[in-house]
Every structure is written in structure tokens, then in C-alpha cells.
Amino acid sequence: MEKSKPISLTKATIGVDIGGTKIESALVRLDGSIATSIKINTPSNPNNIIQAIYALIDGILLERKEFIKGIGVGAPGQVELHTGKVIYAPNLNWHNVPLKELLQKKYSLSVFVDNDVRCAMLAEYKFGAAKNISNFFCVFVGTGIGGGIMIKDKVLRGITNSAAEIGHITIEKDGSKCNCGNYGCLENIASGPKIIEYVIEMLKKNRSIIKDIVNNDLSKINIDVIQKAFELNDKVAIEVLKRAADYIGAGVASLINILNPEMVILGGGVIDASPSLFEIIKKIIFERVLNISKSNLKIVVPKLREHVGTIGASLLIES
């Protein structure tokens, strides 16, 4: 008689998603479901972040080490792929952190580190909006603007693993200086903080319901507030979202003309908080792209919300 097989976790992977405000670690099964997850606030001192990551992984590893295939990590910045070194992560204040080496030494497991936006794209590809889609790209608008490109089921990385940096395409020839050193970058005009900055500038000269919503405390302005004002037909909110959408739409439409994808996923904190912004961007994209690329083009929001970063990071071990 054949013995029944025990329910096994043989192919589970640890995913770690390092964000500027939270770090999450999870044990992710092959089907993308989460077995366990832990989340903590990101320490403000960059030197303490590694210890925090160790603590999270230790928590996941308790009793389960023999089942783990490896550790995948998504980091919010530039990652050197072959060494797994985080070259620069502005939100963590990290420079040249040899993350892969540190984790491999400590846990003797295979470790793979990549950019967090790319991890989110992998999760959408495997389990989300882009399931069964071979040619698509993602644009995530949040504190910055990041992207990921999938061509024929392969991630486009470029020669220095820095492909798809849509946030740093020049969208305004004589625009202001971006953190990257260039002038007129998309991110420097249409990221969440830049949208809020523009609202505050507009409020100096215009009447708006936004001031009432935040009780004149301008530090409380966020994208939710702008969305709410937009729904109430507020002129400042309409102008601000239209302006951001114009720039994002122009950037995305240019990329569509280059790549001719089947789908574009528009996500990130700003788009999540403003369905109106999503709709205006979509309209602008369809006004701008070549007719021939419109016929099979879908512009959608991401399908996965919770754990998208950790699920995506866990997929690095397979890819």
C-alpha cells in the first residue's frame, strides 16, 4: 500500500519587501498564497535596517527552515543584479549595501535581490492583471515613478539592470533639476510629492475646497484629499490632476509607441488613491498613441494589492 504523502511546504520561498515606511517578510507558496507574513516599520537609521530584516526572516524561519527554497528581496532602488548589491536606495538612505552577500552568509540559502517595482511586475505577471500576457509594462506612481517591462515573457533589464526607468525620461526640456541629476524628469513633475507641491502653489492664488477639507492645514493635503475635491468639481483639483495626467499620459504613450504592448498596468499609491487620475491618463494615452497600437491595447490597474511586493520578491527565486 502506498503511503499518503504529508502536506509539504517543500517549494515555499521567503519574500522580503523593503519599503521606505514598512518592511514585510512572508513565506510564499508556489501558488502565490501566503503561509505566514510579518510586517514592521522601517527603522529610520539606515544601519538598523539590516537587523530588522534579519529579525523578520528569523521569525519566518522558526521551525520551517528545511522547507525553504530561497530568499527573494525587493529593494526600493538600484540593484546590481549579479552581486545583489543595493547601489542606491534614496528612501532607505542606503549606498552600496551588499544585501545578497549578507543574507547568504547568515542563512546559507540562495538569495536573489532586485528592484521592488520589478518584483511587483512579476507578481502581476504570475498571479495578477497580466496573467497570460507576454508583452506588457507597468508604471507605478507613488513617492517616485517607477516601471517594469516584460517582453515575450522575459523581464527587460538592460545592461546595468536599470531598464524601464520611466520616471526619469525627460518630459520637459527646460524643467527643474531631478534627484538623478537630469532636468525635466517625469518623476520630478508628476510623482505624489510633486503633485501635492503643485496644489500648494495653486492654493496661493486660487480659491479651493481643498483648504476646507484639510481645515487650512496644508500639511494634511494628500492624494485622497485631491481626489475628494475633484469629485466635488473643485477647479484646483481638476487642474492639478489634469496636469499630472498630461505628463504621465505623454510619457506612457511614448513608451507604448516604442514597445507596442498588449497591456499597460498603471498602479502605485497615487493611482490607487485617485481613480479619476487613472481615467484621465487613460484618455490621454488613447488620444496620443498611434492608431495601430490602440486596437489590442488594454490599460488597467493592478489586480494584487496586499502582499504584492513580497509575492513578487518570492518569485525572484524561480526566475
Query: Which span sits near Zn ion by CB under 5 A: 154-162, 185-193, 194-202, 216-224?
Result: 185-193
Q: Which residues contact 194 (CB under 8 A, 6 or more apart)?
A: 187, 188
What region does 33 belong to: left with phi over 0, alpha with psi -120 to 50, or beta? beta
Q: Confirm if 229 and 277 have CB atoms less than 8 A apart.
A: no
Query: Which span sits near Zn ion by CB under 5 A: 4-12, 62-70, 178-186, 260-268?
Result: 178-186
- Out of 30, 38, 102, 180, which residue is the one contacting Zn ion (CB under 5 A)? 180
Q: Which residue number, 42 or 191, has a Cβ lying nearer to Zn ion?
A: 191
φ, ψ of residue 305 to 5 degrees: the values are -115, -75
Binding mask 131-170 for Zn ion (x = CB under 5 A): -------------------------------------x--
- Closest of 168, 166, 160, 163 to residue 151, by C-alpha: 163
The least CB distance from residue 183 to Zn ion, in Å, is 8
Query: Which span sits near Zn ion by CB under 5 A: 55-63, 181-189, 236-244, 284-292?
Result: 181-189
Q: What whole-number distance in Å separates Cα of residue 285 and Cα of residue 131? A: 23
- Out of 23, 60, 75, 185, which residue is the one contacting Zn ion (CB under 5 A)? 185
- Residue 250 grid cell: 505623454
44-83 residues near Zn ion, rule: CB under 5 A: none
Please give the distance of CA 283 from its chain centroid, rounded to a whole number. Answer: 22
Q: Confirm or reject binding of residue 194 to Zn ion (CB under 5 A).
A: no
Q: Which residue number, 178 or 255, has a Cβ lying nearer to Zn ion?
A: 178
Residue 166: DSSP 8-state: G
Helix H or strand E encompassing 311: helix 308-315
Residue 63: DSSP 8-state: T
The least CB distance from residue 96 to Zn ion, in Å, is 20
Q: Which residue number, 128 or 167, has a Cβ lying nearer to Zn ion?
A: 167
- Closest of 7, 91, 24 to residue 314, by C-alpha: 24
Q: What whole-number distance in Å separates Cα of residue 211 and Cα of residue 234? A: 11
Q: Which residue number, 116 or 234, has a Cβ lying nearer to Zn ion?
A: 116
The least CB distance from residue 138 to Zn ion, in Å, is 18
- Out of 178, 210, 241, 280, which residue is the one contacting Zn ion (CB under 5 A)? 178
Residue 108: DSSP 8-state: -
- Closest of 180, 146, 177 to residue 163, by C-alpha: 146
Q: Which residue number, 185 or 308, has a Cβ lying nearer to Zn ion?
A: 185
The least CB distance from residue 285 to Zn ion, in Å, is 21
- Out of 36, 78, 104, 182, which residue is the one contacting Zn ion (CB under 5 A)? 182
Q: Which residue number, 185 or 203, has a Cβ lying nearer to Zn ion?
A: 185
Q: Which residue number, 185 or 190, has a Cβ lying nearer to Zn ion?
A: 185
Task: Using CB under 5 A, count the residues that bind Zn ion.
Answer: 5
Q: What whole-number distance in Å separates Cα of residue 244 and Cα of residue 47? A: 36
Q: Which residue number, 100 or 168, has a Cβ lying nearer to Zn ion?
A: 168
* Strands 110-115, 68-75: pairing kind: parallel
Please give the distance of CA 25 from its chain centroid, rounded to a whole number. Answer: 16
The least CB distance from residue 188 to Zn ion, in Å, is 6
Residues that bind Zn ion (CB under 5 A): 168, 178, 180, 182, 185
